[in-house]
Structure 1
Amino acid sequence: MGLLTRDIALDLGTAATRVYNAHGGVAVNEPSAVAVNTTTGRILAIGAEAGRMAGRTPAHVKVIRPLRAGNIDDFEVTGRMLHHLLLLAGHRNPGRTQAVVCAPSDTTGVGRRAVLEACRQVGVGRVRMLPKPVAAAVGAGLPVQEATGSLIVDVGAGTTEIAVLCLGGVVAARSVPVSGDVLDSAIRTHLRKRHQLDIGRHTAENLKTGLAEAEAEGRPLAVRGMDASSGMPVTLLLETRDVQAALRDPLDRIVAAVGDVLDRCPPELYRDILDQGVTLTGEGARLHGLDRLLQKATGTPVRIAAEPGTAAVRGAGRCAEERSLRSLLETAPDR
C-alpha cells in the first residue's frame, strides 16, 4: 500500500465500527447500529443516533446491529452503515481508498468474502485482511514480529479472542462466544431471577461499567427497572457482589479458554508468556476485576492496553502506515 491519506483501517465490530485514517488516527468510533422503519424500509438513523434509539422506538421502528461476532449478519444494512461512516471519516470518493480490515481469527472464507464485497460495494479500491488478535497486539505495542511469545485476550462485544502470537503469526488461538453482550445478558437474567426486576441492555451495561467506582467507594449500585410481576417501575439498591455473582459464570468461561490456549502453547513460548504476561484489549478489558481474575488463574502478570477498545483498529492502522508491518497482512479472498 502506498502511504496515502486515503489509506484506512476498519474494525467492523458487533457493538462499534471504527475507521482509522492513515497518518490521522481514529476518525470514527460509532455504534454498529442502524434504525430502520420496518413499514417503509427507510433508514432513519445510523451510528450514535441509532444507538441512542435502541429500546426506545415505536413498534414500526427497529434498531438493527448488522454485525454479529465480527461477521456480517445483514449485508445490505452493513453496506449502508459503512457508506455513512466512511463519509463521516472524510472519504467522499472512496474509489482510491485502500483498506486494512480486522477479521476475526475464526472467520470462514465466506465471512471474509462478505466483508470484501461490503467494502467493494461502497467503492473501496483495495482490501487487505489482518487477523484481529494480531491487529490488537500491534495496537497494544506487543513485539508480534519477534521470536518471542505474546498472549493477547481481546474481549469484544460479540466474542472473546485469545491468541498466542510469535514471528508475525498465530501459534495457538481460540474464540469463545463470551463477550460484552453476554455479560450484559447475564446481569439481566440474574436480576430477573433473583430480584424479579426487568432492565434493558443499556442499564445492564451501566451496572457493569459502574462496578469499579461503586466498589472503591463502598456504596451500592442504584438500578431502575420494571417489576416483572406488576409491571410497575421500581428502583433497587444492589450490592456490588450481587452484580459480580451474575458475571461469574461467563468470566469463568473466558478463564478456561485462556487456560486451554496456554495448554496448547509450545513450552518455549509458554516461558515467554510467564515473563511478559497477558495483555487485555477490547472494550471488555475494562471490566472491573477481570485482570485480577486472569492473573490468579494463570500465575502471570496481566496488563490492560492503553485505550483497549481501539487497539485493534490502531494496530491495523499502523500496518497501513508502516512498510515494516505489511508482512502481517493477508490478501483478501477472491470473489
Structure 2
Amino acid sequence: MGSARTRVWSRDGGLLADMPSTVLTGETAGRPVRRGRVVDVPGCARMLHRLVGDRAARRRHRPVIVLSCPVLSEQDYRAAAVRALSALGPSTVLVIDSARAAALGARADLADRRPLLVVDVGAGLVEVTLLADGQVARARQARLGLEDIGPALPVGRIVRAVTDMVLDMLREDGTASTVDALDRGPLVTGGGALRPEIVYRIATLLDTPARPAPAPATAVVRGAAAALLSGPGHPALVACDARDGTPQGLRR
C-alpha cells in the first residue's frame, strides 16, 4: 500500500491489482495512505475491499497476507495497516520490509554475504537501506518523493537527498560494508527507477554503477510474493498480531 498505488499479488492469480491508492468519500477522492502512513483506516479498508474483497470472500480458507512496509515505518503504521487488512479476513498477517522485498523481487540472493544498498524512490518517500547478511544494517528516510517534483522541488533535490543519506551512512559505518555496497552498485527501485535521469545522477554523484531493478514499480510486491512462496518461515517475514500489528516471533 503506497502513497500513489496499491498492488496486490495472489498465489493463483499473479498480480491482481495495481491501482491508485484512492477511496471515494462522498464525491471526493481521498488518499488513505500518505508518505508511509495509513491516515484513514476505514478508507484504506474500503479501498482494499474494493480491490480484492470479492475474491477473498470466495476462498474456502482465510488468506495469509504479507504486508510490505517502509523500512523505517513505525508501530502505528503497522497497527493501522493491520486494522485495514482485517477487512479481508486474514488468518495471518506477515510483514516484510520494502528493501528486502525489493531485493527479492530483483532476484537478489539475501544469503549473499556481500552488502547491498537498496535505494527506493517512491511517490511520497525515499529510503536508502544497507542490507548485510540478509538483514537491515542501516537505513535512512526522507519524506519527499516523485509526487513532489515540480517547480518547487526539482529532480536534483531527490537525488541530493539520496546522496546525503548515503554519505551519512558512510560516516557512521565503522566497517567497510557501505563502501563495499557502493562498489557493488546500489539497486534502485520504486517509481524513481523508471526515471533514467534519477538513476544516472545517483550513479554520477556517488561514482558507482547504480542499476534499476527489473520492473521496479512491482519489485516489492513480487519480492513479498517470493518470500511467502518460500514458506512462512522465510527470515525476511515477521508475524504480526492481527489485532494491533505488534511483531511476534514466528513459531516453528
Residues paired across the two proteins, number = 242
Alignment partner, residue 117 of structure 1: 83
Distance 1:255 1:19, change over 3 A: same
Q: Which of 322, 326, 333 matches 2:234?
A: 326
Q: What displacement does 1:313 show?
A: 0.5
Distance in 1 between the 2:112 and 2:232 partners?
12
- Report if the CA contact (8 A) 2:36-2:77 is conserved: no
Contact 2:170 2:179 in 1 (8 A): no
Give the Cα–Cα distance (whole angstroms) in 1 for the partners of residues 118 and 230 of structure 2: 22
CA distance in 2 between partners of 1:162 and 1:80 (Å) = 31
> Does the CA-based 8 Å contact 2:121-2:145 persist in structure 1?
yes
1:128 is matched with which residue? 94
Change (3 A) 1:250 1:305: closer
1:146 to partner: Cα distance: 2.3
8 A contact 1:155–1:283 mirrored in 2: yes
d(CA) in 2 for partners of 1:320 and 1:295? Answer: 32
**1:43-58 paired onto structure 2 within 5 Å:** none
Task: Identify if the C-alpha distance between structure 1 residues 119 and 92 changes in structure 2 by more than 3 Å, giving closer, same or farther.
Answer: same
| 2:171 pairs with 1:263 | yes
Structure 2 residue 207 is the aligned partner of structure 1 residue 299: yes
Cα 1:117–1:166 change in 2 (3 A) is: same
| Aligned counterpart, 1:19 | 8
2:189 pairs with 1:281: yes
- Tell me the alpha carbon deviations over residues 164-216 of structure 1, each in whole angstroms, 9 at most, x when there is no partner: 00222100101111211122xx33x47xxxxxxxxxxxxxxxxxxxxxxxxxx
Question: Does residue 151 of structure 1 match 2:140?
Answer: no
| Structure 2 contact 32–40 (Cα < 8 Å) conserved | yes
Amino acid at match of 1:91: A
Task: Give the SS at the match of 2:83.
Answer: helix
Partner Cα distance (1:269, 1:137) in 2: 17
Q: CA contact under 8 A between 2:92 and 2:239: conserved in structure 1?
A: no
CA distance in 1, matches of 2:32, 2:199: 30
Distance in 2 between residues matched to 1:177 and 1:280, nearest whole Å: 17
RMSD of the alignment, in Å?
A: 2.0
Q: 1:177-196 residue pairs with structure 2 within 5 A? A: 177-183=143-149, 186-187=150-151, 189=152
Unaligned 5+ segments in structure 2 are 245-252
Shift of 1:23: 5.1
CA shift, 1:144, in A, is 2.0
Normalised to the residue count of structure 2, the TM-score between the two structures is 0.88
Given that residues 182 and 208 in structure 2 are in contact (C-alpha distance below 8 angstroms), is that contact kept between their aligned partners in structure 1? yes
Is 1:92 aligned to 2:92, yes or no? no
In the alignment, the residues of structure 1 paired with residue 58 and residue 185 of structure 2 have an alpha-carbon distance, to the nearest angstrom, of 44
- Partner Cα distance (1:100, 1:288) in 2: 30
Name which of 123, 129, 133 aligns with 1:167.
Answer: 133
SS at match of 2:57: coil
- Alpha carbons 1:14, 1:65 under 8 Å: kept: yes
TM-score, normalized by length of structure 1? 0.67
**In structure 1, C-alpha distance between the alignment counterparts of 2:140 and 2:71, rounded to whole Å:** 8
Distance 1:331 1:324, change over 3 A: closer
Note closer, same or farther for the CA distance 1:125–1:167 as it changes in structure 2 (3 Å cut).
same
1:263 & 1:182 partners in 2: Cα distance?
28
